[in-house]
Structure 1
Amino acid sequence: MPRTSESSTPRIVVDDVHKHFKLRHTHSIKETFVAAMRRKPLSSEFQALDGVSFEIGEGESVALLGFNGSGKSTMLKMISGVLRPDEGKVMTRGRVAGLIEVGAGFHPDLSGRENVYLNAAILGMSKQETQDQFDSIVEFSEIEKFIDTEVKHYSSGMFLRLAFSVAIHTQLDVLLIDEILSVGDEPFQQKCLARVRELHQQGKTLVVVSHDLDMVSDLCERGVLLQDGKLRFDGPSKDAVALMRA
C-alpha cells in the first residue's frame, strides 16, 4: 500500500493515475507505406504510469526515484500540470514552481532581463513582485554581464542559472526539480542545493527527480520508487535508494 502523508492538508494528491503514450514506428511517408504494405503496426502504446497513488504533505521533501522509463519524469510533469492523466487525478494546493527542463519558458529572441519577467509571470508572479526580486534574481544567477543579451546566445549553464534563480525567488509552496541540479559547475550546484535546503527549512514542499542517488537520499527524507509505471516502494529515501542499488 502506498504511504500517505500524515498532514490533514496535503500539498499534492496523486489518485490512481494512468498515462500512456503512442509510440510511432515509422519516421517518413515511405516507411509508413512500406510498413502498411507489410501489415506491420505503425505505432504501439507505452504505459508510462499504471495506477499510481500517493500523497505529499506540506513541508515534505520527496524524491521520485526509478530507472530510465520508470515514469518518474512523467509523474513530475503531471504534478506540474504540463501533462494530464488519461485516468485518475492529480491535485495540488498552493503555488507550484517547476524546474523541469532547462530554459523551458524562455523566448530565445528576448534578453535575459525580458525573460526574467516572462518566466516569473508564467510561475504566477506579478510584475511588482518580479521588480522587487529582480536584483536578487540576477545576483543569484551570476550572469549580470549578460542580462541584457538575447538568451539564444546563452549556454545551457546560463539557462540553468537564470531559470533556477527565477523559480526560487517565486513565492512558491511546492518546488519541483528534475535533474536540473546536475547541470552547471560544482560551485553553482552547491549554491543551488544550499538554497533548496533553505526553502525546505522554511516549510516549502520539495519533489526531486535525479539520478544522483547520494544527493537525493541526503536532500529528501522520503522516496517514492516507480518501476515500469507502477509504485514499487514509498518510504524513507535511504531505503528506496537501497532498493534501487540491490
Structure 2
Amino acid sequence: MSTAIEVRDLGIRFRKNRRGRRTFKDLFAPASRRVRAGEFWPLRDVAFAVQPGEAIGVVGRNGQGKSTLLKLVAGVLIPDEGSVHVRGGVAPLIEITGGFVGDLTVRENVRLAAGLHGMTSAEITRRFDGIIDFAELRDFIDTPYKHLSSGMKVRLAFAVVSQLDEPTLLVDEVLAVGDKAFREKCYRRIDEILKGGRTLFFVSHNERDLRRFCTRGLYLDKGRLIMDGPIADVLDRYNADYNA
C-alpha cells in the first residue's frame, strides 16, 4: 500500500529575526542593512510515514515545530533538508484567513477560496449552498468578509475546506475558536471524513479531541520527533514530561 505521507530526515532552517525566513527583498538590501542574525532549526531529522486512512495527532508544547511540520506537509514551506512526499492532494485548515479577502463578500470569497483550493467553477456552483449552510452564513452572504466575527470566519473556512475531496485533511487548532455547537458540527464532519477512509493530520493541544479522532500520535520536542506510537501512550509521555 502506498503511504499517504512520507517524511524523510526533514529539516527547515529559520533566521533569528522578527521576519522569520529570509525574504526576497533581503537579497537586494544594502549589505549594511542585511540581517546577519544567527539561524535555528525549528525542525530537524524528523522521519515518519502515514498510511492512508490513519488519524495522526501531533503534540508538543508551543514553539516545538508542530505548525511548522503541518505547513511543510501542506507545501506552504519548503524544507532545507530531507523531503516530504504526499500522495494526492491535501485539504488544509491551517490559517483561517488564508485565501480570503476582506473587501469581498462571503459569496465572492467562497468562490475565490474554493477556486484557490482547486475546485472547478462547476464544483463550486454545485457545492455552494452546502458551504453556506454549513457555515450558517445564509443571512450574511453579501456581507464583506472583513465584517465577519472571528467565529464566522472559522465557520466559513471549515465549510470550504471540508468540501474538498482531497485524500488528506490537515487541521491546526482552528476548531478551538468556534462555539460549542459549531465545534460539534465540525466533529461530526471529521467523523464522516474518517469513515470515508481519508487521512487526518491533526495538530492540537486539546487532549479530548486528540483521543476522540486519533489512533496514533507524534510527539515533538525542540524540533525533534521523540515519540511515535499509539495516541494514548504518546499523550501519557507528553503529560509526564510536561508535569515533570
| Alignment TM-score > 0.5, same fold | yes
1:29-57 CA-to-partner distances (Å, cap 9, x unmatched) read xxxxxxxxxxxx95221210111001111
The answer for the alignment partner of 1:32 in structure 2 is: none
In the alignment, the residues of structure 2 paired with residue 12 and residue 100 of structure 1 have an alpha-carbon distance, to the nearest angstrom, of 17
The one-letter amino acid paired with 1:116 is: V
The one-letter amino acid paired with 1:229 is: G
1:164-212 CA-to-partner distances (Å, cap 9, x unmatched) read 0000111121100000110111010111011101100000100001110
Q: Where in structure 1 do 4 or more consecutive aligned residues deviate above 6 Å?
A: none
1:160 equivalenced with 2:118 (yes/no): no
After superposition, residues 1-246 of structure 1 pair within 5 angstroms as 8-24=1-17, 43-246=37-240
Change (3 A) 1:25 1:100: closer
In the alignment, the residues of structure 2 paired with residue 77 and residue 133 of structure 1 have an alpha-carbon distance, to the nearest angstrom, of 27
The one-letter amino acid paired with 2:12 is: K
Point out where structure 2 has 5 or more consecutive residues left out of the alignment: 20-34
Superposition TM-score, scaled by structure 1 size: 0.89
SS at match of 1:43: coil
In the alignment, the residues of structure 2 paired with residue 89 and residue 25 of structure 1 have an alpha-carbon distance, to the nearest angstrom, of 26
In the alignment, the residues of structure 1 paired with residue 18 and residue 178 of structure 2 have an alpha-carbon distance, to the nearest angstrom, of 35
The one-letter amino acid paired with 1:156 is: S
- Kept in 2: contact 1:100–1:176 (CA 8 A): yes
Query: May I ask how many residue pairs the two structures share in their alignment?
Result: 225
Report the alpha carbon displacement of residue 116 of structure 1 after superposing the two structures with TM.
0.6
1:108-133 CA-to-partner distances (Å, cap 9, x unmatched) read 11111111111111111111111110
In the alignment, the residues of structure 1 paired with residue 208 and residue 139 of structure 2 have an alpha-carbon distance, to the nearest angstrom, of 34
In the alignment, the residues of structure 1 paired with residue 96 and residue 107 of structure 2 have an alpha-carbon distance, to the nearest angstrom, of 17
In the alignment, the residues of structure 2 paired with residue 212 and residue 25 of structure 1 have an alpha-carbon distance, to the nearest angstrom, of 28
In the alignment, the residues of structure 2 paired with residue 229 and residue 12 of structure 1 have an alpha-carbon distance, to the nearest angstrom, of 19
SS at match of 1:134: helix
SS at match of 2:14: strand
The one-letter amino acid paired with 2:3 is: P
In the alignment, the residues of structure 2 paired with residue 93 and residue 221 of structure 1 have an alpha-carbon distance, to the nearest angstrom, of 20
The one-letter amino acid paired with 1:150 is: P
In the alignment, the residues of structure 1 paired with residue 15 and residue 122 of structure 2 have an alpha-carbon distance, to the nearest angstrom, of 43
In the alignment, the residues of structure 2 paired with residue 164 and residue 16 of structure 1 have an alpha-carbon distance, to the nearest angstrom, of 31
Report the alpha carbon displacement of residue 213 of structure 1 after superposing the two structures with TM.
1.3
Identical positions, percent: 44
The one-letter amino acid paired with 2:214 is: C
SS at match of 2:156: helix
- Kept in 2: contact 1:62–1:208 (CA 8 A): yes
In the alignment, the residues of structure 1 paired with residue 177 and residue 18 of structure 2 have an alpha-carbon distance, to the nearest angstrom, of 32
- Kept in 2: contact 1:141–1:161 (CA 8 A): yes
Point out where structure 1 has 5 or more consecutive residues left out of the alignment: 1-7, 27-40
Superposition TM-score, scaled by structure 2 size: 0.89
In the alignment, the residues of structure 2 paired with residue 185 and residue 212 of structure 1 have an alpha-carbon distance, to the nearest angstrom, of 15
The one-letter amino acid paired with 2:98 is: A
